[in-house]
Amino acid sequence: PLGVPPLRPYRRERSLALRSSSSALYNNLAVLCPPARRPAFGGGLGGLQQEGFGAPAPGGSCGVLPVPPAPAPLRPSQAAWCELPSRVLLVLTSQRGVQMYESDGSTMVFWHALHVPEHPAAHPVFARGIAAAGGRFICVGTSSGAVLVFDIPPKGTNVTLSEILEQHRDPITDIAAEQGQALDGAGDLVTADDSGTLCLWSTGEEFTLLGKIPGSGCTCSSVRLWNGIVAAGYGNGQIRLWEAGSGRIRAQVSAHARWIYALDLAPLTGKLLSGAEDSFVHVWQLSKDPDTDGIEIQHCHAECVTDTQVCGARFCDPAGDTFAVTGYDLSEIICY
């Protein structure tokens, strides 16, 4: 039976002040939830030299961990904490390339420069889409459609570019690794691009393409993978659930009135969070019936962040009992 856990209403709690406001970029909020410690947040903050990351200090006040200031093209446009078994790295992408830091932003571990043409070309160059995969790799997408696979040593700075995956023809928007149990042949990594094309991969020494879900021209801006279900958010406000193994569509939700900017998934419960330009954040419940192979999605909760175009939304705990949201021009992270 498709059991749905009792719905517990969310309520708005504290906000963390940011030193500068958030930019309108996809998936613009990263949360690190170390067990038994309070979460830390990071995002692509706009306009100025210094980027900052909020970490709630004891007593609930917000501290900011500054990332060293950098000139314009190096300004991070996206940030994500990549949790690997041996270490956690903070990865930042920008117009020039990829930077990796120790998780508190203190030391730079690695820097990969993208090839930038002499004169600005019609096609922009940037890196976008970050995910840890296969317990050993960090994957970063690029505007050419290529996905860079970095092999991360358990400690130290000897990061190497192990592979470049070239299956996408449009700029990468998001990358996600399996957060639950991968099914046979379903892959443990999904990559998404501007045209809505999704690629499913099996990670390892060499990554293997297991399947491709062709896009229909509508950008997939955010993607998650859980127990063989791909949850994808699109520019037309839809959320679609795909079966990773077969590539078949299993659910279609007219979720938002505007472009979806962020999706997140709570692996312990299968809760899905979506945030969009329409000011809304929705919490959904995914469920899978092992007997019938039925996949379902139900609406749990809606929050309207008044007069804000949401650009980042993340659960702050693996069960999805709390989540955080930020929006364009907002100098705070709102916690629910």
Partner 1 sequence: MSTRTLPLLFLNLGGEMLYILDQRLRAQSIPGEKARKDEWTDVDRKRVMNDIISAMFKKNFMEELFKPQDLYSKKALRTVYDRLAHTSIMRLNQASMDKLYDLMTMAFKYQVLLCPRPRDILLVTFNHLDAIKDFISDSPGILNQVDETFRQLIETYNCLSDGEFQLIRQTLLIFFQDMHIRVSIFLKDKVQNSNGRFVLPISGPVPWGTEVPGLIRIFNHKGVEVKRAEFTTAGNYVTPQREGSFELYGDRVLKLGTNMYSVTRPVETHVSGSSKNLASQAKENIVPNPLAKEELNFLARLLGGLDIQKPAGGETGFRLNLFTTDEEEEHAAQTRPEELSYKVINIEATQEPGRRAELSRILGELEVAEPRPGSAEKGEDLLALMDGL
CB of 46 to partner 1, least distance (A): 4
Nearest CB to partner 1, comparing residues 60 and 69: 69
Q: How far is the CB of 97 from partner 1 (least distance, A)?
A: 14
CB closer to partner 1 out of 142 and 308: 308
**CA–CA dist 222, 261 (Å, integer):** 7
CA dihedral 189, 251, 24, 278 (to 10 degrees): -170
Which two structure tokens, joined as six digits, stand for 47?
Answer: 């306009």
Q: How far is the CB of 134 from partner 1 (least distance, A)?
A: 27
Which is nearer to partner 1, 202 or 236 (by Cβ)?
236
- How far apart are alpha carbons 25 and 244 in whole angstroms? 26
Q: Which is nearer to partner 1, 211 or 235 (CB)?
A: 235
Q: Are 136 and 145 in contact (CB under 8 A)?
A: no
Residues 6+ apart with CB under 8 A from 133: 139, 149, 175, 177, 188, 189, 203
**Is the CB of 109 or the CB of 127 nearer to partner 1?**
127
CB burial of 82-104 (b: ≥16 within 10 Å; e: otherwise) equals bbbeeeebbbbbbbbbbbbbebe
From the CB of 221, what's the least distance to partner 1, in Å?
A: 8
CA distances from 312 to 33, 42, 167, 190 (A): 16, 10, 27, 20
Residues that bind partner 1 (CB under 8 A): 20-21, 23-25, 46-49, 77, 95, 119-124, 126, 170-171, 173, 193-195, 217-219, 221, 235-238, 243, 246, 248-259, 278-280, 282, 293-299, 302, 304, 306-309, 328-329, 331
* Closest CB 25 distance from partner 1, rounded Å: 6
Range list of H helices, the chain: none
| Residue placing its CB nearer to partner 1 in the complex, 221 or 227 | 221
Location of structure tokens 């613009």: 28
Nearest to 235 by CA among 250, 216, 220, 224: 220
Whole-angstrom Cα distance, residue 206 to residue 11? 45
Q: Choose between 107 and 306: whose C-beta lies nearer to partner 1.
A: 306
Least spacing, CB of residue 206 vs partner 1, in Å = 29
Euclidean distance between CA atoms 266 and 162, whole angstroms: 30
Q: How far is the CB of 316 from partner 1 (least distance, A)?
A: 23
Q: How far is the CB of 147 from partner 1 (least distance, A)?
A: 16
Distant-in-sequence, close-in-space partners of 146: CB < 8 Å, separation ≥ 6: 164, 165, 166, 168, 172
